[in-house]
Structure 1
Amino acid sequence: MPATPSPRLILASGSIYRRELLDRLCLPFDVVVPDIDEASHPSELPQETALRLALEKAAAVGKKHPGSIVIGSDQVATLDNRQIGKPGTHDNAMQQLMTMRGRCVIFHTALCVWDGRQPQPEKTAQTANVQTAVTFRDLPEAEFEAYLQKEQPYDCAGSARNEALGIILLEKIESTDPTALTGLPLIALTSMLRHCGITFFPENPSA
């Protein structure tokens, strides 16, 4: 009896860090960058923004590639329950770091797995929000300036890439999933993919 072909797996993200994380699972996948408006809605809670955008990213790609399993993810950083977006400029990044130094920032990393094989994937899409508490070091402004000049993390919420040099700015990271802060919670993702019938090892590895 012929084996059932594996569904196409797509990462709906242009992030190289999410791509590198998904590579760890040793599954073949394609990358398609979604075209959506990532602005938050008025009165929307941070976790609601992250979950909505993760779903919208997966849906935007899934609708263009029917029958595929699509992974969408989004991250929102918050301080005192207020969203901290991508700084965009050097001055904004410095302001963010100065505000966050010595304080704890909550990162909401939302995940969505869209199974395009389902009759109504928008109703059966799996979602999760993984929170990470990050305590920033109370460093002098000159060190933040040197970091920004070196790494220029202006497209990164919170202005510090923990997967790169930004780790030197952090005092503590607390999370149930060590990959969540980088942008793709692999523990939650593997559970969702298993629910979709994805296997990570062949049944007869020696065959």
Structure 2
Amino acid sequence: MAWRSGLANFFLRASCPICKRPSQGVFCRDCDRQIDAYFPGRMPDEAGLLPVSVYCWGRYDGALKRAIAACKFEGARAIAIALGRKLGQHWQQEVRQPPAQVVVPIPLHPQKLKKRGFNQAEVMAASFCAVTGLECRPRWLRRVKETKPQIETRSRQERESNLANAFALGETVRPQSVVVFDDILTSGATLRAAIALLEQHQLRVAGVIVLARTELGTRQWEGRNV
């Protein structure tokens, strides 16, 4: 009856969220290799998108894009945990001295959080911190203004206006260095708004960690659409 057991195990396996093939882990072996292949590490800010250094996984396309989209739009919390863990493992190999001991994830507005069920950036950051030993502080920032997705904005002015007064400090904190964490870098407007708010409250932002950057972020990074 071994064939019956094997057949049952085949149908009971979880499917890979990227390619939908059977998988014994979060991702199938092929997609897992594709995601790992994205990792470039630090990125130069040639276009001056952000006032601090950026640590990024890769472009928002292919397997990495599908994995992040599954976190955000399909409620795949396990994927967010897996991506945060992978990023943490790469970070440990690349970064000998962390620029700060505290990681602050970009928050969701309460309405979006209620609709989505969890904040993918917070889950990724918590998983990242579990691997690296850094401290995750998801309550240090609050999103007090509901904004439209940055990818839907057409100009830098519109993006900055969209994020104006979007954040507030969530807890009273003492002055120290922090790293800001988000899932996707588009134009940098979200991160710039968060950095500005934190620094107004004497928190020095020593760097930014993101999973991916979009094509818009790539064009701006290369100085063609600032």
TM-score category of the 2 structures, normalised to the smaller one: 0.3 to 0.5
The TM-score normalised by the length of structure 2 is: 0.33
Task: Compare the two structures and name the one with the higher helix fraction.
Answer: 2
